Amino acid sequence: MSNYSEEMAQQMIVSGNTPNKEKFSLLQGLGFYPKLATAIYGSNEKEFQKAMSQEANAAKKAYADIYIYKRGRQYSSDIEHYYRYQKGDLSKRSTHLTRKEFTDLYNFISDANQERYILNVGLTISWSMLGIRRHKEATGLLDKGFIKHLKSWHAYRIKTDPAVPDKSRETPLLWCYVHENSPQMDFHTHMMICIPEEIIPPFRHWVRNRIQKLSKVQPVPKKAVHISTPPSQPLKRQWIRFQYMCKGLDPREILRFEKYGCAIPLLALTQFHYRDPGLLDCKKKMGYTQRYNFFALYKKEYRNYDYVFNLEQYKSDFRKISGFCSALDQGIYDIRTLYPSTLDDMTKKLPQKYEQKKFL
């Protein structure tokens, strides 16, 4: 028994594995390695969990502005793909989100929150389960078969439903989405939508009916559409959904924190493990409500300012002039500021030099 304990303790220390509840009893022994294992892991599971908790809290405190510990399931293929991309090995290509797309999506949501609108509804559509496997066909259906009809439904419902209070009748339809093509779900779309809570039940009903009309598979599989609308902590849940939608960020996108002395992946600003988004065969990998016709405004204004061939700079300046300035606009890369817990916290963090105004 002592030889077995010695071998098991040595193997565990060398491999870096941690003991489970059953193995603690097998690590008891008088040899060198059992004693070393006890010093590292503790003499029982309770001591081990306590030590791990203390270590985790210390790490979170030392790296409070980024996510050290991640949520969600992590696949070995995703880990391998992540490190390949970091090293520049593009033999297996994927359509990752870029830093600009991450920033644009964040700014859109931040601007909506500053206007006190929350994207409180989460929606996932698995196109492959609906019998729609071509990416371009699915994205076309999303634009013209779903969002276009959602605009009409929302415009009518928000004005006529007696359950909607007067203060909510001016709520604009805000939405954003990200496409993914994972090995687990094939081609699918994650969406967030701003829907007044009073019309969420009829919204659920409308989505089911609309998807049934788009689906090539009848009856529609239950798991093909998932709607998430928990009433508690909608702002917190919104930011969690945003981070989940961005789990396919390019591993090569990095941040540089002087205090850490090394490059930090942009994924450290999301609390979920990296997941390979797969290769997309469509023009747009993400989108959101276009509340301004930036191209028309740009054509009108660029002659008067130094915006020749610089539409992106015009967009940025236009947002600032309109009174919107997100944490990312200010160069803040701190999860404690990026993801506020209340709308009041977000409004207080606006810089004084910008006057807060409403959307056009």
Among 189, 187, 97, which residue's Cα sits nearest to residue 135?
Answer: 187
DSSP code for 182:
E
Angle CA 196–198–204, to nearest 5? 85
| Tens digit of pLDDT at every position of the chain (360 positions) | 456 667 766 666 666 666 665 566 656 666 777 777 776 666 666 766 666 666 666 766 767 788 877 887 778 888 888 888 877 777 778 899 999 999 999 999 998 998 899 999 999 999 999 999 999 999 999 999 999 999 999 999 999 999 999 988 989 999 999 999 988 889 999 999 999 999 999 999 999 999 999 999 999 999 999 999 998 899 999 999 999 999 999 998 988 777 777 778 899 999 999 999 999 999 889 999 986 555 555 455 555 555 555 666 666 666 666 667 788 888 888 898 999 988 876 654 444 433 333 333
- Please state whether beta strands 262-265 and 286-288 pair in parallel, antiparallel, or not at all (unpaired): unpaired
* pLDDT value of position 12: 67
**CA distance linking residue 207 with residue 355, whole number of Å:** 38
Find out whether 330 and 353 touch, Cβ atoms under 8 Å.
no
Q: Residues with Cβ < 8 Å from 220, sequence gap 6 or more?
A: 130, 208, 211, 212
* pLDDT value of position 146: 97
* pLDDT value of position 55: 63
Instruction: Reduce the DSSP state of residue 146 to 3 states and report it.
Output: helix
Hey, how many other C-beta atoms are within 10 angstroms of the C-beta on 189? 21
Q: Both tokens of residue 206?
A: 């409308």
Query: Would the CA dihedral through 14, 18, 23, 24 be positive or negative?
Result: positive
Q: What are the structural domain ranges in the chain? A: 2-62, 76-291
**CA distance linking residue 36 with residue 229, whole number of Å:** 50
* pLDDT value of position 271: 93
